[in-house]
Amino acid sequence: MKHLIDIKDLSVEEIDELIKVAKDIINHKKEYSHKCDDKTLATLFFEPSTRTRLSFEAAMLELGGRTLGFSEAASSSASKGESVSDTIRVVGCYSDIIAMRHPKEGAPLVASMKSTVPIINAGDGGHNHPTQTLTDLLTIDREKGRLDNLTIGLCGDLKFGRTVHSLITAMSRYKNIKLVLISPKELEIPEYVKKDIIEKNNMQYVETTDIEEYMGELDILYMTRVQKERFFNEEDYVRLKDYYILNREKLEKAKKDLSILHPLPRVNEISTDVDDDPRACYFKQALNGKYIRMALILKLLEIK
Amino acid sequence: MNIDSIKNGYVIDHIEAGKGMEIYELLNLNELDCQVAIITNAKSKKTGVKDIIKIDRNIDLDFDKLGFIDPGVTVNVVKDDKIIEKKKLSLPEKIVNVAKCKNPRCITSVERELDQIFILTDKEKNVYRCKYCEMSLK
């Protein structure tokens, strides 16, 4: 039995296969509509995330399966003090596969150590969010037709932004990836990501606080939200939340075929006047999220 | 100063000066009812001073824990008054319940019954990371 806790759990070949299946689903939706007829997905969200939860549920429903679960810890037995391991063992009795989000880092790994059914990490604190990374990879592949030879700008909260860390980890396995790391000093990429992933894999990178400095060189611009829930201090959040606001003016120097990605939800970091720009891919990205999750559910349930 | 030689047990030698008590406590040597000697600031040809611990019993010594605290130590195994083995220690690949993760966002901060597990991720820089949240130990 296989779980997906960290994007590193998947080989490059497995990621390629997932992308291939997701594209096949996009082109042959009906052929997949009964693949999970007798299967149940449990969505255990100990931390609210409507978007990710609905994406998982939509994915399972479109495969013909059923869903059950909870959307916040308050409506689960965790509020009574039950451990993650116990919750997982019980829910494993009622479902065939579990997607789990938890505010504490490492909780899905703990779950996978005790679970009798496959566990998908749907986000654990500021740590990992592998299905978002798969979504990002499918989007880049569909927009650019490749996952190598790309200059990728990552902008916003690079310190707590788990989507950024996971994306860098995934891209480190492809050839000739250049990173432009754009963040305020307080939200710079952590040293361990820089040393253990970027430098260890000889990835080229530059760091800047100016979103426009390297705009003309980017193939991908990955914007992120400064997340309130990652701060212990409200003052720090208020000071940093609107540090970057991408608008049409800032895109003047950008390439015509730039792809703008964002894991969503956005707050102010992308102005709505960018939404109609053909380079804005973030809503297409949300749709891709459903397809790659469908492919992942099939893989983990070993359904061809 | 004379310390009796031991008949059966261990001599933990070449401990970095000052770490003898730390090792004594982490290995729970205070719980033994046999003779245990801690010698601090003993003369050393290599390092000038060192600590030494002598344990007069063949206990189940946790070499991983010992190697994590001080990978430079040598453990002499003594049987019938003779040293039968000299063990050179190194950093263990994994340590369990030796150190605690300090990340307040880590699952171990709320689920206390979980083993505190750290994995050696960088042998050159002696970096251990929490198995659950991957936060560096230092």
pLDDT tens track for B10-54: 999 999 999 999 999 989 999 999 999 999 999 988 889 999 999
Angle CA(A299)–CA(B132)–CA(A6) in degrees, nearest 5? 25
**Mean pLDDT of all residues in chain A?**
93
d(CA B59, nearest CA chain A) in Å: 32
Which residue in chain B has the smallest CA separation from A84?
A: B111
Between residues 95 and 124 of chain B, which touch chain A (CB distance below 8 Å)?
103, 105-111, 113-114, 121-122
- The pLDDT, as a whole number, for residue B47 is 85
Residue pointed to by tokens 């979980």? B114
- The pLDDT, as a whole number, for residue A276 is 96
**Mean pLDDT of all residues in chain B?**
91
Q: Which one has a higher pLDDT value, B125 or A212?
A: A212
Name the fold adopted by A7-128+289-300: Rossmann fold (3.40.50)
Residue-wise DSSP of A73-92: GGGSGGGGT--HHHHHHHHT
pLDDT band at A240 (very low <50, low <70, confident <90, very high): confident
CA dihedral for B80, B85, B91, B95, sign (positive or negative): negative
**Strand ranges inside A209-250, DSSP E:** 220-223
Residue pointed to by tokens 């965790």? A78
B133 to A106: CB separation less than 8 angstroms, yes or no: yes
Number of C-alpha atoms within 13 angstroms, CB side, residue B81? Answer: 1
Domain ranges of chain B: 9-88, 94-130
Residue whose C-alpha is closest to residue B79's, from B24, B14, B5: B5
- Residue B31 tokens read as 């719980």
B105 to A102: CB separation less than 8 angstroms, yes or no: no
What residues of chain A lie within 8 A of the CB of B106, using their CB?
104-106
Which one of B103, B107, B109 has the shortest CB-CB distance to A84?
B107
Does the pLDDT at position A58 exceed 80? Answer: yes
Q: What is the mean pLDDT of residues A38-63?
A: 96
Residue A185, classified by CB atoms within 10 Å of its CB into exposed (0-12), middle (13-18) or buried (19+), is exposed
Lowest mean pLDDT among A125-129, B11-15, B95-99, B128-132: A125-129
B107 to A110: CB separation less than 8 angstroms, yes or no: yes
Task: Evaluate whether B65 touches B98 at the Cβ level (below 8 Å).
Answer: yes
Residue whose C-alpha is closest to residue A248's, from A212, A203, A196, A207: A212
Residue A61, classified by CB atoms within 10 Å of its CB into exposed (0-12), middle (13-18) or buried (19+), is middle
Does a cis peptide bond (omega within 30 degrees of 0) precede residue A265? yes
Does the pLDDT at position B1 exceed 90? Answer: no
CA A153/CA A248 separation, integer angstroms: 17
Task: Evaluate whether B27 touches B62 at the Cβ level (below 8 Å).
Answer: yes
Percent of chain B surpassing pLDDT 70: 97
Which one of A110, A125, A192 has the shortest CB-CB distance to B105?
A125
pLDDT band at A29 (very low <50, low <70, confident <90, very high): very high
Q: Under CATH, which number does the domain B9-88 receive?
A: 3.30.70.140
- The pLDDT, as a whole number, for residue A234 is 80
Q: What is the mean pLDDT of residues B81-107?
A: 92
pLDDT tens track for A113-130: 999 999 999 999 888 999
What residues of chain B lie within 8 A of the CB of A124, using their CB?
107
Q: What is the mean pLDDT of residues A247-275?
A: 95
Catalytically active residues of A, by annotation: 51-52, 80, 101, 129
pLDDT tens track for A102-114: 999 999 999 999 9
Which of the residues A84, A124, A127 would you substitute to probe the B interface, choosing the one with the greatest number of B C-beta atoms within 10 Å?
A127
pLDDT band at A76 (very low <50, low <70, confident <90, very high): low
Task: Evaluate whether A39 touches A94 at the Cβ level (below 8 Å).
Answer: no
Does the pLDDT at position A259 exceed 90? Answer: yes
Domain A7-128+289-300 matches domain A131-286 at the CATH topology level = yes
Q: What is the dihedral of CA A142, A147, A153, A156, to 10 degrees?
A: 70
Task: Evaluate whether A135 touches A172 at the Cβ level (below 8 Å).
Answer: no
Does the pLDDT at position B63 exceed 80? Answer: yes
B136 touches chain A (CB under 8 A): yes
- Residue A242 tokens read as 């609107």
Chain CA centroid to CA A211, Å: 22
Contacts for B93-97 with beta carbons within 8 Å, 24 or more apart?
A: B93/B119, B93/B120, B94/B64, B94/B118, B94/B119, B94/B120, B95/B64, B95/B65, B95/B68, B95/B128, B96/B64
What residues of chain A lie within 8 A of the CB of B126, using their CB?
none
Q: Which residue type occupies A88? A: I
Q: What is the mean pLDDT of residues A205-215?
A: 96
Does the pLDDT at position A191 exceed 80? Answer: yes
d(CA B89, nearest CA chain A) in Å: 26
pLDDT tens track for A220-237: 999 998 877 666 788 877
Which of the residues A105, A168, A194 would you substitute to probe the B interface, choosing the one with the greatest number of B C-beta atoms within 10 Å?
A105
CA B117/CA A119 separation, integer angstroms: 21
Best CATH choice for the domain A131-286 from the list 3.40.50.300, 3.30.460.20, 3.40.50.1370, 3.40.50.150: 3.40.50.1370
Size of interface A-B (CB pairs under 8 A): 50
CA A300/CA B14 separation, integer angstroms: 51
In SS3 terms, chain B reads as CCCCCCCCEEEEEEEECCCHHHHHHHCCHHHCCCCEEEEEEEEECCCEEEEEEEECCCCCCCHHHHHHHCCCCEEEEEECCEEEEEEECCCCCEEECCCCCCCCCEHHHCCCCCCCEEEEEECCCCEEEECCCCCECC
Which residue in chain B has the smallest CA separation from A86?
A: B111
What residues of chain A lie within 8 A of the CB of B131, using their CB?
106, 109
Residue whose C-alpha is closest to residue B133's, from A108, A137, A242: A108
Between residues 1 and 60 of chain B, which touch chain A (CB distance below 8 Å)?
none
Q: What is the mean pLDDT of residues A45-73?
A: 94
